[in-house]
Amino acid sequence: MISTTSFEQEKVVESTIDQLSTTSSSNEEIVIERINEDQAWNIRHIVMYPEMPFDFIKMDTDPDSIHFGLHLKSGDNKILISVISLVLTNLKDGDVQFRKFATLEQYQRKGYGSKLMFFTVEQAKQMGCKRLWCNARSAKSPFYNNFGFKTTGSSWNKNGYDYIIMESFL
C-alpha cells in the first residue's frame, strides 16, 4: 500500500491528469491516467521482453507503486499505448525511481512517450521528489537526456541488454 501521505499525492495526480488531457491533431484525445499494475503488464511484456515468460515483467515493487498510462481515445474507444511506474519506497528521502517505461512500437517516435515522461517528471516534483532516477537501457539514454537526465557512470548487462543508471535532480 501507499503511505498515509498518499491522499495528498492522489490529489496532485488527479489535478495534473485533468490538466494533461488534450486532443491530438487527428481528433484522438490523449488521456493520461492512473492505471492498475495488471494494465501495465501487457504493454511491458509486448514492448520490453516479448521473448520472456509473461510473469518476468511483474516487479516485486508493483503492488506499492503508482502506475500511469497514456491512452488514445476516439469516441467510445480507448487504447492504452504507453505505461510507466513510479516506485515511492524512498519518497520520504526525496528519491523516486521510475521503472518499466514502455510505449507500443507503432506509437514510438510520435511524441506520446515524451508526453508521459513529462507528466511523470511533473508528478515526481509535485510529490516532493528531489531525485528521479531509472535503470535505463543504454540505447535509450539520448531520450532521457532530453528531460534533463544524466548518466551516473554505473552500467551493467542483464538479459542481453546494456543498462545505465540515469538521474535528474528536480
What tens digit of pLDDT does each residue of 31-55 get?
Answer: 999 999 999 999 999 999 899 999 9
Look at residue 17 in the predicted model and tell me its pLDDT.
Answer: 43
Compute the average pLDDT of residues 9-38: 65
Residue numbers of the domain that contains 43? 6-169
DSSP result, 120-138: HHHHHHHTT-SEEEEEEEG
User: In angstroms, rounded to a whole number, what is the distance separating the alpha carbons of residues 77 and 112?
Assistant: 17
Q: Please report whether residue 1 resides in a domain.
A: no
- Please, what sign has the CA dihedral across residues 127, 132, 133, 136? positive
Question: What is the structure's pLDDT at 170?
Answer: 92
* 108 is a domain residue: yes
What would the mean pLDDT of 53-79 be, rounded to a whole number? 94
DSSP 59: -
Spatial distance between the Cα atoms of 29 and 75, rounded to a whole number of angstroms: 9
Task: Report how many domains make up the chain.
Answer: 1
Beta strands, E only, 56-160: 66-74, 77-87, 95-103, 131-137, 150-158
CATH of the domain at 104: 3.40.630.30
Contact criterion met (CB below 8 Å) for 56 and 41: no
Task: Tell me which long-range contacts 143-152 makes (C-beta under 8 A, separation of at least 24).
Answer: 143/113, 143/117, 144/117, 146/114, 147/117, 147/118, 147/121, 148/121
Residues 123-145 have pLDDT tens digits of 999 999 999 999 998 999 999 99
Q: What is the pLDDT of residue 5?
A: 40
Taking the whole predicted model, whether its pTM rises above 0.85 is answered as: no
User: Is the predicted pLDDT of residue 6 greater than 50, yes or no?
Assistant: no
